[in-house]
Amino acid sequence: MKGCLLLDKPCGLSSFETIDNLKKITGLDKVGHVGTLDPLATGLLLTCLGKATKLAQFLSGWDKEYVAQIKLGTNTDTWDREGNVLETLQNPAVTEEEVAQAVKQLTGEVSLLAPEFSALKYQGKRLYQYARAGQKVPRPSKKVHIYSALILEFNSPFLQIKISCSKGTYIRSFAYELGQKLGCGAAVWELRRTKLGPYPVEDSLLLEQVKEIVKNNQIEKHLISLPNVLAHLPRVVLAAEGYQKVRHGVAFKPQDILEHDPFQRDRWVRILDPEQELLAVGRALCDSGTLLANPEKALFKYERVLVN
């Protein structure tokens, strides 16, 4: 069994606990995921089964979309409802117009402070390890892109908002900064990831549904194949004899290539056989336009080889 499965993570489980559940359901040892979700969050978790675990690094750069419920007038140490409440305003005196203006200021390229309770590292340790020990350490601010932030509903003190953002964006940080701009504090109360790269949450399965399709031997129908999950990478299709070269890590020549998409130097490409099966992922050592200029030089550096 190999491929990627779109999972709708339940509230209350960490991403790793969710993966442990999936391992038990599928009977597989090799199961991973892309894009960690906090236990509080629900929604789309891209899981990698079997050989697909080797592809996680090529899938981590995708943009994401979330629907968040943010509670204004509340500060917690984790910047969400699971933390210790530090301050509460019963009736934060902010208008919808003020909220809309603050949200507008947090769109585009913005610098967001990392939460104390996060997996980012300082001097080799996770920030949450310092936070749990009661130690204060410098936290980095990270530049991210908030492509859009659409207010869906405002019923004070709760704000429901849809956020489209770049990788590495903490929605908890967005909520914290929003609270600072409004002068009343804010924390994430509910969070759902609704999109990851090209995949919407509507295409995902609950753990209970996965149990059922595994029981009925239908899981293969729901897996995204290795070539398809890397559809964002240019193709390089090799002739049949190129298989053995890839298998043994031997560089192939231009004459081994049947067809290819345009690609740029130092970018990843997916290397396929004539049947469009994924053989490897490589890093281009030249542009596609200069492929024939140096026929004796190596064209790609293998990053991941998928054939035995």
* Cα 271 from Cα 305, distance rounded (Å): 9
* Cα 18 from Cα 133, distance rounded (Å): 26
Please identify which of the residues 38, 80, 256, 273 carries the catalytic annotation: 38
* Cα 90 from Cα 185, distance rounded (Å): 12
| Three-state SS at 185 | coil
CB-count exposure of residue 128 (10 Å: 0-12, 13-18, 19+): middle
Q: Give the tokens for residue 4.
A: 């990627």
152-154-157 Cα angle (round to 5): 140
* Cα 301 from Cα 299, distance rounded (Å): 7
- Active site annotation includes 63: no
Catalytic residues: 38
